[in-house]
Structures are given as structure tokens and as C-alpha cells.
Chain A
Amino acid sequence: MVPPYFVQESLVDRKTRRRIQIMDTGAKWMITLGGIAVIACMVVMIILMADVAWPLFKQASATKEHQAAFVAETVHYSFDDYFERAYFLDESGLLTVTSIPENEVVFQRELRSNARIMSAHANPDHVITCVWDDGTVTLESIIFKTEYDDQGQRSTRSNHETVRSFGDMGTGEAIAMVQDQSSVVVQETENGLAVHQVSMTEDLFGDIEETSSVEDIGLPGLIAFDVSHDRSQLVTAQTNGQLTLWALDPDEGVAVSGSAQLSGAIHDLTFVYGDASIAVADDHGLGIWMPLNGELLEIRSLKGHTSAFQKLIPSRRDKSVFALSSSGSVSQIHATSEREVLEIRAPFPLSSFMVNQQGKGIMAVTQGNQYWFWRLDNPHPDVSFKTLWLPVWYEGYPEPVFTWQSSAATDDFEPKTSLMPLLFGSLKGTFYSMIFALPIALLGAIYTSYLMDPKWKRWVKPAVELMAAIPTVVIGFLAALWLAPRLEDRVPAVFMSLLLVPIVVIVGMTLIQKWGKVRLGREFYWVMPLVALGVLLSLGIGEWFQQWMFDGDFRLWYFETFSKGVDQRNCLVIAFALGFAVIPIIFTISEDALSNVPAHITAASLALGATPWQTLRRVVLPIASPGIFAAAMIGFGRAVGETMIVLMATGNTPIMEWSIFNGMRTLSANIAVEIPEAPVDGSLYRILFLTALLLFVITFIVNTAAEFVRHKLSKKYKQA
């Protein structure tokens, strides 16, 4: 950029000059590119995290895979998880298995001769309850055997097996469930249901004892019924809107375990996966009902769907329910998140549909015996704004709650992923630590910047900066394993010291000043022993107070009085430990702000006769207050995101209580705790990215605000 006309031709020839120029321009571009790339890289961070979290809220989608025609009217049909085999069962009992894209018959068998099927019901795992016109109920299992050959090519073999056959039954619709030798058959009769129960129990001597019972329940106007997968519950709906839950037991028989009266007409019902709740379709939409203390309660509902749902099929993998509406569309509704995840429409109304085992495919019939297949892409039906941020009435809970419990031992567990307890935990820890840190850091900064002997200030300031460099894992370890057990039985002393240390310092200094003048800037010679004295005194008096007020054990007293325990790793420890991490930051930044107040301003104030403190209070503090505010904000940002200290020194229990004697779980610690358990790209994994993004955004906003305030401040100085 500087034309080299000063340079003599003899010293630098044209070639060299050109080289230098090219170097210069090249470097300019390289540096600009590199600089922008580094900074862009940081922007990529936000985008990537948002990109991982985003699919949580994406609407699911369905793609139509195939369409096939089948000749006969069927009583039942379904298909496998790979979209390779479909099967059809017609009225005469002929089972036909076809290959899906080719629509060729690969297997055919007549289940029974001389009998017709009256009705069929789909049990899980491709098992069908068939009711025959001769009063037989059979369980027919369609088996798809998947094999891999040497080249790793998959092939499927189809087969069929009759699992069980029950004679002397009626011809009404039936649901049969079998496990080992025990079985339940619930069949519709003219005026209600007949429940056949058989149980086999082996006694001590290895003899098998068979208990069987048949019971008729009168249910006028029965509309729908369903039996739970574990054969212990039956739910029925009647035309008068009566919803009844029955407990089934081979020995005790059938008993009502809960009932409710619905205002609208019920169309269909089904147990949701896990059998803990029931999905009921009525005129108003879809409601999720749950038994609680002998009652049936509607814990969640999906209202406002354009047309009423007619037929429900539960997913066998998660808490979704698939529903056919009267307008001929199929919807997937997740019971926990109350989200209508997707709605499938065909050019013609659908008359019936089936869901495959994984809940990733739908097969539906439209006019002219045309069967349509859709592949579903619904990775995260269980997450919605509501499950993350609003109270949700979970299965087995007496009321809607905020709770975080992401996994359990069983598959049919309902994940509880409310972020509220975590956000609450973060804010709680930050709140208590700021209460502890702010006064100490600010007072310390004020003293160090204005009052302390400069000779000492030269040492104190770097020492505090050094304090900021202490790894948080060290602070966390000492807080959890050294401080927490020592603090545990000295709780009264801790509170005592909040009061006693300032009192001892003020009283002590007043006395010392009476006795002789304390040099300005050297107060800490005296204050240091006084602080130590205050701490010792509060330890002693606290112990005595504990003996006197709380019978020698505060924790026991607290537990007996408030029936809540005092955790060993509680917020007192956190306040101290997190405060330790935050103090140097607030201290250093506010010290800088205070020191940067121009000297002529303070000099003027002092010259007018104000005491140093008055100058500080009336002149320096107001000018530096934006900087101090910024310091507090940055300290807040650091405390919110701190991970190791809270991970180590809290119990990591996600509870929502303000009590200082409890622990909590913070957003940041939650990531560290849960990420090893989170399968990649699963709901939990994405939720954790969402929390990271949330942390990022919180700290970014707080820091930007602080930076902005500081910027304004420094401009002001420049003008002054």
C-alpha cells in the first residue's frame, strides 16, 4: 500500500519489489480469510447446536411407498416392519401373504375348513384373535422369519401358527390374550361381555393347578372394549357415555376399579402402550384417561380436531395413538406431548388402517380394495413445547408436575423431560451464590481500588486474578468432600457468621479507633484478625446455639419441624463454592471500573472536604456503577453455566424447591450427567443440545448486555 518510491532501484530490484507486493496482497487476503473463518467458526457453533435440536419440533412426515390392490374383502390385514410382506385374512379363513412391491402371493393357507370368521382383532406381534361362526375363538400368529445369507442379503420367510384355540365361546367380537398356560378371553355377548379367565399356577410340589372362571358383565349399549397387554385390566365404553375400568384376576374375578361419565358419545378406546393410561375418542376429540384412587381422570386431551376420531390403534413402541377420523384421514397423536404429530390424507377417504410393529408404517384401505402404504418419519413425537416448559400430568402422578426423569429400566416408561426443574436449579444455585459473592466481591473491589495502600494493592489484585484461574474441579472437589461434611453439623454457625463477622469487625474497629488512629489504607492489618475472630466466635456461639435451640442437632430439628431433610450437599455449600468461582470475576471487573474513574474527579471531591468514603459513595460509585453492573452480569453468566462445581457439590436431584438446605440439578450438570446415556440423535440427545443452546443464549444475552454497558461507560470516560 505504500508505494516504494523511496526505495532506490539499486537496492531493491523490480523483481523483488513485485515479490514483496504479491506477498503483501497475499498475506492481506490470507489473514482476512483466516480471521473471518475463525470468527465464522464460532457462529457455526450456534447453528450446529440449533440444527441438532431443531428436529425435536419438526412436524413428522409420511411418504407414500406403494399402492396395491387385493381382490377379496378382508376381515384383517397388516404388514411387516421392512415393508416387504403384507397379509390379508378373508372371511372364509384364507390367509394370504404377499410381497409388497411386487404384489405376488408368497404364502397361502386356509386356517380352518368349514368355518367362517365373524370378526378379528389385532393383538401385538402379528397375532390375531379370530372369532369363528361355530363358536370357536382362535389366536392365529403370522410369523416372518428374517434370514441373512452369506452375502448379507436379507430374505423373509412367512409362516403361520395357531397359538391357541378356545371352544364353546360365543360369536361376538372378542379379544383373547395368552401367556404360557394362562389366558383371558373377553367376548361381547347380547347384553354385555363374557370374561373367561384361566390361570395355571405351579405349587411347591410341581403340581399344576388350574383356576378358571367365566363371568358375565351386564353392559347395556356396549360400544368398545379393550384388554391390557398384561391381561389384568379391561376397559369398556357404553352409549350413555359411561367409561369403566375393570380389574381382571383369575381368582378374584372381575371388579370395577374406576369409572367416569363422559358428556359426549364415545367412539373407540384403547390402552396406551404401557397399559397405564387409556386413550378415548369421543365427540370432542381424544382424551387420555388414567385411574387414580378408584377414579378415572382425564389427564390430557387433544381438542379441536376437525372431525371426530372413529378408530384407535396404539403404537407398540411409544405412547402414540393412531386414530382414523370420520373424514377418512389417519392421525398420529402422542399421548404425553399431546401433539398431533401428523395427519395422513389420501385422495379418497380411508375406511380402515393398520400400523406396523415399529409404528413407522401405515397401511390403509381406500375405495375399490386399494391398499396404500405410507412410511412415517416421526423421530421425536414425545417432545413438545408443553412437555419441555409446562406442567404435564404424567401417568401415575396425582397432578400435573414439572419433572425431569429421562430414563428408566423398562421400555414402556414415560420419559419426563421438563426443563423447568433444571432451569430452576441453575437459577437457584446462581441466586444463592450471588447473594454470597456480590457483597464480598464489591466491597473488596471498592476497598482494593480506592482505599488500600498501593503497596499492598500491587499484590492483592494479581492474587485475585490468580484466584480466577483456579480450576473449578478443584473448588468442586473441596466443596463436596472437604467443606460439605464440615458444614453439615455447623449450619447454625454459618448463619451466625453472616451476622457476627460484620458486627465483630465494626465493633472491634470502633474500639481500636478509640484507642488509636488507624492509618488509611492499612485497615486490613486489624480487620484480618477481626474477621478470623468473628468466624471463630460464630463457630462457638453457633455450636452453643445449636445445643440450646435445636437439641444439639440442627438437621434433626429441621427434619422434625418441617419434615424435610437437610441434604449434605446443599445450597449453602453451593453458595460458597460457586461464590468462590465468581468472586474473583466480579472483583476484578468492578475493580477495573472503579480504578478507571478519572483521578481529577475524585481529587475535586476530596478537595471540597468530602471524606474518602463520601467521595466513593457519592462520586466514584455512581460513575462506575455501569461497570459494576456489568461485573455482576458477567459473574451471573459464569455462575449459570458453571458445571463441575455443581456436578460435584450438589446431589444432582432435579427438584424445584427454594430451600437452601436442598441440592438441585442445573442445566449444565444435567448435560454432563445425561449425555453418556443418550443415544445419538435420540430425543434425549437433542433435548440436551437444546439445553446447551439455551445456556449459550442465556450467557450470550447476559454478556452482551454487560459488554454493551461497559462500552458505553468507557466512551463516557473518554469524553470526560
Chain B
Amino acid sequence: MNRAFPRRKPGIWTTGDAWVWLSTAGAVITVLMLVGLVGLVSYNGLSALWPHQLAQFELVDGSKALGELKRTDEDMHRIQIKSGNRDLYGIDFRWIDDVNVSNRSFPENAWALERLEHGHFYGFLTNMNASSASIDGDLETAFAKALKTMALKREELNDLESELASINTSLESLNLELLDTVDKDKRTRLEALKTEREEAFEVLRVKVDGFRSELQSQYVTMADCNGRTKDIPLFSILRAYQPNSMSVFSRTGLYLSRMLDLLTEPPREANTEGGLFPAIFGTAMMVLLMSLFTMPLGVVAAVYLREYAKEGLLVRIIRITVNNLAGVPSIVYGIFGLGFFVYGIGGTIDDWFFSNRLPTPTFGTGGLLWASLTMALLTMPVVIVATEEGLSAVPKGIREGSLALGATKFQTLMRVVLPMSSPGILTGLILSIARAAGEVAPLMLVGVAKLAPKLVVDQQFPYFHPERKFMHLGFHIYDVGFQSPNVEAAIPMVFVTTLLLLVMVLGLSSIAMVLRQRMRTKYSGGAF
């Protein structure tokens, strides 16, 4: 390389080649970690819903085992299967030693049932008592038909039950009103209304109970691989399929329909089965409400700092403070939200407006509103910093042009500067949303729930209930993965949730980054 000193070829440490390679390794490891994490979550999340084949093992001692293959342990020479049938076996998973297996097959007629409780059932169809539908010939067709009718009837029952629930809530609000009312006439009127509603409730309740027990009387008899029979009410079967005889297309169809359920259904069985709809909805509502607070306030603060405040020590201190607040641990915001919003403001609101419900707190406990406010505070620095960046990217000449044309400062701001810096503001908004969607620690203190019985938006007046607790995708991961009684069975569900959250957060962040990049290149060239 260096002709002037040809005597000795310098070593790799002198030229720095070794360091270059090590630094390459640093970059490579970073990228591999990211790719690894995304790949791991994608693989596990996407495959969690896929209908897997059911393997049947004939064991040396004559018994059989049926289930989905989970993993093979090469060292110990054993296989783990998900045997399902929790109501029969008590456990979901089972290890089988290779030496004990005499035969392995994939029986075509094996059924997999998704049930309301006790997890999946894997086994064979033996008999059915469906009330009216006579079983002519083919048991399997009859079963499929019965399931279809049952699905319709289940919906009917759901409608009735929600009607029941709405009567119940109106009764509750009547009770609260009664507590407040002193006027005698009004009281008697309210009481009459109350008895009337109570009667209606009772009538409907009897009807619903009758309907439900009628539905529950129909059952199908299934046998597990060892011939143990179990009567399963048709009512509790959500989906039934024969995974070993399915084509790839029907598999894909099932996969897609499961994915749809995931996005639209509420969870079941302590959140380990079913859908994620309340969590998705809760996350979206929280983020939306948060944006309503954080956007205007953050933009105003940034406009003040960049356009109105006089550059000086104070502004520098404020700017450093804002930057620092972005680095304050999120749990600190959480505990602040708990002390200030929940117990401070919420407690006061309860004292003033909801004293008749005390000691049951209305606003004095964690809820959507407080969570959104806490998150707004937490993401405020993000919006401020991004907006400031956007404002500073607007060239001075443009402002001066506007002012020279006679516009006031405010007009310049509203008509010229803000529209031009909108990519920056948007970037801040999107980044804050991404941050809020993924942040869990503060939410645990100010209003997230493992299972929220009611959504924050429903058909009851006033239709939007910001005091209610809500579910959140990130907290769902923590809760199902760490607090559920059967963690191993829950892990696929956690991976699905993780994938969903990751797609959401990374998607939003990517959009923000693209926007920011565009903004930078747009103005970096010159005035226009």
C-alpha cells in the first residue's frame, strides 16, 4: 500500500483492519438482533393460528396419545404434544419418549373442537343427540349441520342477553337517581318505573334461562384416542374441523377466519383464547384521546418556544428540560398520573359530582381518561421536539416574504409556517402514538385492566365513558404471559398479540420516519 516504506507489511491491528472488522461485527450484531426479534415474533405469531395436523401415537403400553406436535427435544429423545382435552387430562401438554412410541399416524377422521371452556378437544366423533334434527345416515354431516344451526341460535341468545344487560344498567342508573331524589312525587314515579323495569327484567331473564338450557341440552359425544367418551354441549363448540383431512385451501380459509375472529372477538378463558378486539379497541381509544390532548398542547408549546419566546437562557433551559423529559422513565409518569390525575383530580371530581356513589370511586380510580392524560404528558416532549424541528426547517426567507407582504405574525404562522411544517407535526404525532401504543408501565398504574367488562364506547348514554378501565395490547402481553394460570398454553396467544403490537408500532414509526426524511430533503436544498 505504501510504496515509500516497503520493508514490512503492517499488521492488521496497525492498519486498523481488525478494528474495522470488529466494528462491522458490532453493526452486524445490531441488525441481526433486530431481524432476529422481528423474525421470531413473526414466525411464532403467524404460525400460532395455523391449524396443525393431529398426530396419533401408539405407545408400547398399548395406550394412545393424540395431539398437535409442539417440539422435539433431541437431547432427551422425546416429543412434546399439545394433547388438549383439559377437562379429561387436567393438563394441555404432554411429553412422549421416543422409545415408548410403537407407531405414529395422522388419523383422517380426528376432530379438533374449539370450545368456550377447557381449551381444545381432540378426538373422534361417536354420537350425537340433536333435538330435532334426526341423524340420517352420516353422523359427520349432521354434526356440521347442527353446529351451523347452533351458531345462529347462539347469536339469538347473545341478542337477548345484551337486552337483559341494558335493562340491568338502566335499573342501576334508576337506583342512583333514587338515591339523589328527595321529592316525594318524583320518588313514587321513579319507584313505579323501577318495579316495572324489574318485572320486565324478570320476564326476560326466565326466557333467556329457558333458551340457554334448551341450547345446552344438545350435545355431541366425543371419544378421545383411548376411547374415553365425553358429552360436549353443542352450545360450547365454537368451531369444529378435521385437520388431517383438510386441504391447504381449507386450512388457509380456517386460518383467515381465525385471524378475523382475533380482530373482532372478545377474549375467552382468562384471555388465553379468543380474540383481541377489546384490547385493540382500548389501545386505539387511548391513543386517540391522548392525541387530542398532546397535539394542540405540544404544538402550542413548540410554537411558543420557536416563534414567540426570546432566545435566551430561559428558553435554553426550557429546551433542555423538554429534551430531558423525553428521557424520564415512563413509570415516573405513571406514578405521577396516579397521584395527580387519579387520586388528586379524580378524587375531587368524585367528591363534587359523584358523592352518592362513594365509596365506590367513579373517576377516583384508574380509567381511560387518566391513562390518556398521563400518556399525553409522557409523549408531549416527542411532539414538541418534532414540531420544533419542523418549524425550524421552514426557511427564514419564506417567513420574511410573508411578513413583507403585510401579513401579521399570527397570519404568517397560521397560513405559511404551520402548513409548511405539517410533516414535522405529523411526524411528532405519529411518533407519540407509536410510543403510547407500546408503553405499558405507566398504564398499569392509571387504568388498564386485564379484563374490562364493558368497552369505553357503547349504546348507553352518554355513549362514551372515559372513566372506565380499558384493555391494552401491551398490557395484554404482560398479563397473559406472566399472570395467567397456564402460561405454556397461553404463549401462542401472547405471540399473536406481540406480532400485532409490533406491526402497529413499527408501521407507525416507519411512516413517521419516511415523513421526516421527506421533510428534511424538501427543505435542505435551499429556500424552496
Contact = CB atoms under 8 A, between A and B. Distances in A.
A614 B16 contact: yes
Interface string B291-326: 000000110111111011100000000101111110
A172 interface: no
B359 interface: no
A463 interface: yes
Contact of B28 (A49, A527, A642): A527
Given A446-B23, A467-B34, A523-B20, A2 B481 contact: no
A393 interface: no
A255 interface: no
B27 A471 contact: no
A177 interface: no
A34 interface: yes
Given A472-B438, A473-B477, A506 B22 contact: yes
Contacts of A452: 27
Interface stretch (B125-133, B265-273, B333-341): B333-341
A617 B14 CA distance: 11
Interface stretch (B143-151, B166-174, B192-200, B402-410): B402-410
Contact of B327 (A41, A460, A510, A699): A699
Contact of B335 (A49, A524, A532, A616): A49
Contacts of B435: 469
B30 A440 contact: yes
* From B327, B435, B491, residue with most partner A Cβ within 10 Å: B327
A2 B408 contact: yes
Nearest to A591: B27
A444 B324 contact: no
A470 to B, nearest CB: 7
Interface string B499-528: 001100110011001000100000000000
B31 A463 contact: yes
Contacts of A506: 12, 18, 21-22
B519 to A, nearest CB: 14
A246 interface: no
Contact of A531 (B17, B25, B478): B25
B298 A38 contact: yes
A662 to B, nearest CB: 19
Nearest to A11: B406
Contacts of A531: 25, 28-29, 32
A571 to B, nearest CB: 18
A105 interface: no
B26 A440 contact: yes
A39 to B, nearest CB: 5
Nearest to B44: A482
B487 interface: yes
Contact of B26 (A443, A482, A640): A443
Contacts of B405: 6
B40 A613 contact: no
B34 A463 contact: yes
B438 A469 contact: yes
Interface string A617-643: 100000000000000001001101111
A280 B27 CA distance: 66
B234 interface: no
Chain B contact-residue range equals: 35 or more
Nearest to B333: A45
Nearest to A685: B339
A501 to B, nearest CB: 7
A444 B25 CA distance: 7
Interface in A24-57: 24, 27-28, 30-32, 34-36, 38-39, 41-45, 48-49, 52
Given A447-B26, A473-B440, A524-B24, A692 B411 contact: no
B403 A2 contact: yes
Interface residues of A, number: 112
A199 B408 CA distance: 95
A23 B414 CA distance: 12
A451 interface: yes
A680 B18 contact: no
A648 B481 CA distance: 9
B313 to A, nearest CB: 13
A532 to B, nearest CB: 8
Contact of A35 (B301, B338, B498): B301
Given A28-B308, A616-B16, A48 B340 contact: yes
Given A444-B28, A477-B494, A523-B21, 15 more contacts: A32-B309, A34-B304, A38-B300, A38-B380, A39-B301, A42-B377, A45-B333, A447-B27, A463-B34, A464-B30, A509-B17, A527-B25, A613-B17, A643-B331, A699-B329
29 contacts: A34-B300, A38-B298, A41-B377, A43-B321, A45-B377, A48-B336, A442-B26, A445-B27, A462-B517, A464-B31, A464-B34, A466-B513, A470-B506, A471-B505, A472-B441, A478-B498, A481-B494, A505-B22, A506-B12, A523-B21, A527-B24, A583-B30, A609-B2, A613-B15, A637-B327, A668-B441, A672-B334, A672-B445, A696-B328
Interface of A: 1-2, 4, 6-7, 20-21, 23-24, 27-28, 30-32, 34-36, 38-39, 41-45, 48-49, 52, 439-448, 451-452, 460, 462-467, 469-478, 480-482, 501-502, 505-506, 509-510, 513, 523-524, 527-528, 530-532, 580, 583-584, 587, 609, 611-614, 616-617, 634, 637-638, 640-644, 647-648, 668, 671-672, 675, 680, 688-689, 692, 695-696, 699-700, 702-704, 707-708, 711
Of all A-B residue pairs in the complex, the 5 with the closest CB atoms, nearest first, are A613-B16, A35-B304, A641-B329, A471-B438, A443-B26
